[in-house]
Amino acid sequence: MSESQIPGVLFLCTHNAGRSQMGAGFMRSIAGDKVRVLSGGSEPASKVNPSAVEAMDELGIDIADYVPQKWSMEMLDEVDVVVTMGCGDTCPYIPGKRYVDWPLDDPAGQGVDAVRPIRDQIKTLVESLLTELGVH
């Protein structure tokens, strides 16, 4: 598959520390190099949420070394699908781009017990999106 045929997905949330990092982690883990995966936030945190790191680590997915970053127009230009996760009006909107909104609870400040159900919802949503994209 050439790079131009590989779908790109951008995961956006406010702090790029929990939901979007877990979404990107699942997509990288499940799809490998069949999808270009990016993530960003409107107000990036200084590090990935430790409870999100722990919850993902329980499933063998390491997101600890990813650094939250601010979304950019370049990121938006590179992808086919933008997944928004609770960033509301602070998420960018470009006409003609496919947007999917996943209304998920914010794991910020939550312990791992509260993050696990959010993680599991994200996994199910990522698997569904990959099926829609024709990536298995």
Residues with catalytic function:
13, 87, 91
What HEC string does 7-66 produce?
Answer: CEEEEEECCCCCHHHHHHHHHHHHHHHHCEEEEEECCCCCCCCHHHHHHHHCCCCCCCCC
List the structure tokens of 81: 């699908």
Q: Give CA–CA dist 112/50, Å, rounded.
A: 8
